[in-house]
Chains A and B, each alone.
Chain A
Amino acid sequence: MPRYTTKGRAKRIKLDYLQRSHPFRRWKIILTIAVPAVAVAWIVAATVRGDPRLYTSGPVSQGHAMFGLECRLCHRPEGAQGRLTPVVNEPPAQRGPTFRLRVSDEACLTCHDAPAHNASQTFTPACATCHVEHKGPVQLASMSDRKCTQCHAGLKTKPGTSATFAQAIGSFHSGHPEFAISVKDGARARRLRLDRASELKDAAQINFNHEFHLEPGLRGVDELSAGPEARGVTKTSAGGRLNCAYCHQPDDSQAYMAPVRFARHCVACHALDFDPRLPSAVVPHDTPRNVRAFLRDFFATTVEECRKSGAPPDDAATELRRRCQTLGLVKADDEAAWIATQLATVFKQNCSFCHSVSVSPGRLPGMAATAIPTRWFPHSRFDHRPHRVLGCVECHQAARSRETTDVLLPSIKTCRDCHRQGADAARSSCVECHHYHDKALERDQNGPFAIRDLRQRRLDPRRQDP
């Protein structure tokens, strides 16, 4: 039997209980006020302390890490004009009343140099549209292809100018033309794509047969393999064999190959002994004028010595007489003509082995200047270091090249074998090979700031210390 009726239980409840504060409700109200109050206090404390980290949308890149807590170095009042406007310790009155603190190009250009991309471009994007900050330790120069293809997918140029590059490039895999090199066409250079094989011609002006030089058993190579130059030589059963790396060695940047030098890469096998009748005589590898001077002096001295060959017979005189007879000097009536003939012979037979030589009587022999490009693709950049896992002939078809005029550069198809789309491929974004800013137009390395300016965040070159 229940002890209470419903009415009896209801009578136990005080009707004013809702008006009386209960701890449960009271604490809920207290917390609802206290927690936001703590949040406000936190905001206020950070503001009073001048700590801007509170509002950052993420850590800045490594390059800007030392300015990470100085928001105003980049975020300037909209009224601020000019790249040299002081932005730190500036009187508030000069900052302007603006609430918004956006990143302007001027703020970036205070420290950075950003040469124009191309003189005929129709618009220049703001720095911050491509270089997106507050994304953590990312490379600001690394960006997606979209940044490039917003123009290059349908390239337009300023009125009166014409596009010198392909006008519809979607990506490295879509619309990107075959690589092109600059070929001399008379007085001017002409861009020629690698797929136009019939027109391609290496105008290096040096006679060189790659295939021959990569064969084993070449004369003199065995001697190289035993000496300090052995690094670029491989021993085979058929004899020593030159590797590509014997001649093609990285430059100081390690990205490109340094020019091949006769004195360093050729002379070990190709000694400049200009006359088999005089095996010990070696001509210097120098300009035609100096070579001719050396040879003239050499032959004149020889003639002079042969004239004196009538001296008392001894062993030295006997040897000299024998050499003079070998050279035919004892029969020569006109010594000057003989020397001229010898000079012409050396230039025609020896120098022309590698160089294009033209000899005219009474004139300095003409020699075509070598023109091996240090950069074949100056419009892009390449780094041999990440590619050193590959053999050279994987990209450069040197083993089958006999002609000097062969262009041994890899086509775009070769690059696309690895730099393709997909997760298992090498990167193929535009910035892998191309710079947006023309580095050739950058200012010199002598910047406008002192270390003290950077440490004290005073990035105004005009600022004078008190």
Chain B
Amino acid sequence: MLLDRTHRRWAVGCLLVTLLASAVYVPYHIAGEHGASGGTAIGLAYGSAGLALMLYAGALGLRRQFPSWRLGRGETWMRGHLWLGLLIVPMIVFHGGFRLGGTLTTLLMVLAAVVMLSGMMGVALQQVLPRLMLEQLPLETVYEQIDDVVAQLRAQADELVAAVTGPLPVPPPTTRRGWRLRRVIRSPRAADPRPRRPEPAPLIPGPETDALRQVYLGTIRPFLVSFRPRKGQLATPATAAALFLHLRLTLSPPFHETVDALQAIADERRQLASQKRLHHLLHGWLFVHVPLSMALLLLSAVHALMALRY
């Protein structure tokens, strides 16, 4: 979510509440025997407010599970999650009187810190990465479909090259999720009742087709097969352009259309790899934020229960 002018009121409100909480806390801390304590009325008020805010922040996940529920706009929920979630920090710090306390409360503080930091990192990344992807990845696709699209690109490249050089000695498409790629590639053909096209014959048999085949099998196809294509001559647009320029200069014009298509496929593959990497960066913090948030909520409930008991 982009932090724009529409967040101003939320930010000001959050700041005011923090100032108010601080204004109450300072005299309360000074007057306290050993500083502030979570067990006093004011300390419990801070703790209750912190727990309520945690529950609200956690409710965002529930809200997303049921998007059709008429519980306010999702955007408002997200803003609340962001700013009210930020208010949890002063509340629980004031609740604990800037002390970690015992084992459980220390763990809660650590969890809260990690959850907050990961959330802040997520917000910060969202200010930068989506715009970056929009600018640098015009061929962006659905993240979950990247592997399937890559498999399709590879099959397409195989067909293109085979069409001009003849059958390629390539193994069935296998990667770490090879079974799925086979299905992606073969299933449409298997379902196709029409007879298969005959194996392509080389366009112009000779040294040029051998050269293309050699470059394809040696450089281009490994790049398309690679799960993380971040090395090699095709890893950057400049070196890739140099390679394909060399191919065009080496091969005669009838091959150029194939070379152009292969370059486009390689470019798309590179962009998809970048998209995947940026997606992991953009959403990877959720692997920390969400599970630890759930643990924080659960342990906070236990802490509240035990505080009532003792």
A-side residues, CB < 8 A to B, are 2-3, 9, 12-14, 17-18, 20, 22, 24-25, 27-28, 31-32, 34-36, 38-40, 43, 53-59, 71, 75, 99-102, 132, 134-135, 138, 143-144, 146-147
Smallest Cβ-Cβ distance to A135: which chain B residue: B34
B291 at the interface (CB under 8 A from A): yes
10 contacts between A and B (CB under 8 A): A3-B264, A25-B144, A35-B292, A36-B297, A53-B102, A54-B103, A55-B102, A99-B308, A134-B101, A146-B31
Q: Check B309 against A12 for contact (C-beta < 8 Å).
A: no
Interface-lining segment among B6-14, B122-130, B298-306: B298-306
A445 to chain B, nearest CB (A): 29
Smallest CB–CB gap between B48 and chain A, Å?
16
Determine if A35 and B295 form an interchain contact, defined as CB atoms under 8 angstroms apart. Answer: yes
Provided the pairs A12-B149, A24-B144, A39-B298 are in contact, do residues A58 and B291 lie with their beta carbons within 8 angstroms? no
- Selected contact of B104 from candidates A18, A55, A102, A135, CB within 8 Å: A55
* CB-contact partner of B291 in A36, A55, A144, under 8 A: A36
Q: Is the CB of B33 within 8 A of A39?
A: no
Q: Is B37 an interface residue (CB 8 A)?
A: yes
Q: How many residues of B contact A (CB 8 A)?
A: 44
Residue pair A55, B148 in contact (C-beta under 8 Å): no
B105 in contact (CB, < 8 A): yes
Instruction: Choose one: B101, B148, B149, B299; the contact of A57 (CB below 8 Å).
Output: B101
Whether A143 lies near B103 (C-beta < 8 A) is no
**Cβ distance A405 to chain B, nearest Cβ, rounded Å:** 44
What residues of chain A lie closer than 8 Å to B76, measured between beta carbons? none
- CB pair B261 A3 closer than 8 Å: yes
Q: B178 to nearest A CB, angstroms?
A: 15
**Bound form: Cα–Cα A35–B287 in Å:** 11
Tell me whether B245 is interfacial, beta carbon within 8 Å. no
> By the criterion CB–CB under 8 Å, are B145 and A12 in contact?
yes
Q: Given known contacts A14-B148, A43-B302, A99-B309, is B290 in contact with A57 (CB within 8 Å)?
A: no
Q: B70 CB to closest chain A CB, in angstroms?
A: 23
Closest beta carbon of chain B to A235's beta carbon, Å: 52
Judging by beta carbons under 8 Å apart, are B310 and A27 in contact? no
B294 in contact (CB, < 8 A): yes
Beta-carbon contact of B299 and A39 below 8 Å = yes
> Among A28, A39, A56, which residue has its beta carbon within 8 angstroms of that of B286?
A28
Residue of B103, B142, B287 touching A27 (CB-CB under 8 A): B287
Alpha-carbon distance between A146 and B34 when the two chains are bound, in angstroms:
12
> Which A-B residue pairs are the 8 nearest by beta carbons?
A35-B291, A56-B102, A31-B291, A55-B306, A22-B144, A135-B34, A3-B264, A39-B295
**B292 adjacent to A53 (CB under 8 Å):** no
Query: A13's contact among B145, B261, B291, by CB below 8 Å, is which?
Result: B145
Q: Are B141 and A28 in contact (CB under 8 A)?
A: no
Contact B291 A132 (CB under 8 A): no
Contact B144 A58 (CB under 8 A): no
Given A24-B144, A99-B309: A56 touches B291 (CB 8 Å cut-off): no
Given contacts A13-B141, A53-B102, A57-B102, A100 and B309 within 8 Å (CB-CB): yes
Contact assessment for A57 and B298 in the assembled complex, using a CB-CB cutoff below 8 Å: no
Tell me the nearest residue of chain A to B143, going by C-beta. Answer: A24
Q: Which of B150-184 contact A (CB under 8 A)?
A: 152
Judging by beta carbons under 8 Å apart, are B310 and A55 in contact?
Answer: yes
Bound: A3/B104 CA distance, A? 58
Dominant secondary structure at the B interface: helix
User: Given known contacts A22-B144, A55-B102, what 5 new A-B pairs fall within 8 Å (CB)?
Assistant: A14-B148, A20-B144, A43-B302, A56-B102, A132-B34
Give complex CA distance A112, B72 in Å.
59
B99 CB within 8 Å of chain A: yes
A-B contacts at CB below 8 angstroms, number: 106
A421 to B130 Cα, complex, angstroms? 58
Check if B38 is an interface residue, CB within 8 A of chain A: yes
Tell me, rounded to whole Å, the shortest Cβ–Cβ distance linking B268 to chain A: 8
Rounded to whole Å, the gap between the CB of B154 and the closest CB of chain A is: 13
Q: Nearest chain A CB to B203's CB is how many angstroms away?
A: 20
A58→B295 contact, CB < 8 A: no
Verify A58–B310 contact, CB threshold 8 A: no
Do A58 and B102 contact each other (CB < 8 Å), given the known contacts A34-B291, A132-B33, A144-B33? yes
* B102 contact set on A, CB distance < 8 A: 53-59, 134
Q: With a CB–CB cut-off of 8 A, which chain A residues contact B145?
A: 12-14, 17
- Is the CB–CB distance between B33 and A32 below 8 Å? no
A57 CA to B36 CA, complexed, in Å = 13
Residue of A nearest to B138 (CB): A2
Do the beta carbons of A101 and B291 come within 8 Å of each other?
Answer: no
Asked if B186 lies at the interface with its beta carbon under 8 angstroms from chain A, I say: no
| Minimal Cβ-Cβ distance residue in B for A98 | B309
B277 within 8 A of A: no
Q: Which residue of B lies closest to A102 (CB)?
A: B310
B298 touches A36 (CB 8 A): yes
* Separation of A135 and B152 alpha carbons in the complex (Å): 65
- Asked if A13 and B287 make an inter-chain contact with CB atoms under 8 angstroms apart, the answer reads no
Q: How far is the CA of A3 from the CA of B153 in the complex (A)?
A: 12
Q: Assuming the A-B contacts A3-B261, A101-B309, A144-B33, are A31 and B290 also in contact, with contact meaning beta carbons closer than 8 angstroms in the complex? A: yes
User: Smallest CB-CB separation from B280: which chain A residue?
Assistant: A24
CB distance from A248 to the nearest CB of B (A): 37
Q: Which residues of B contact A59 (CB under 8 A)?
A: 102
Contact among B103, B149, B268, B290 with A28 in the assembled complex (CB-CB below 8 Å): B290
User: Does residue B222 face the partner (Cβ distance < 8 Å to A)?
Assistant: no
Q: Which residues of A contact B149 (CB under 8 A)?
A: 12-13
Q: Is the CB of A32 within 8 A of B291?
A: yes
B283 within 8 A of A: yes
Known interface pairs A14-B145, A31-B287, A57-B101. Does A100 touch B308 (Cβ–Cβ under 8 Å)? yes
Inter-chain contact A24/B261, CB cutoff 8 Å = no
**Given A17-B142, A24-B144, A36-B294, A58 and B306 contact (CB-CB distance below 8 Å):** no
Residue from B104, B139, B142, B310 with most neighbouring chain A CB atoms (10 Å)? B310
Q: Which of A3, A75, A138, A146 has the most CB of B within 10 A?
A: A3
Interface residues of B in 2-39 (CB under 8 A from A): 31, 33-34, 37-39
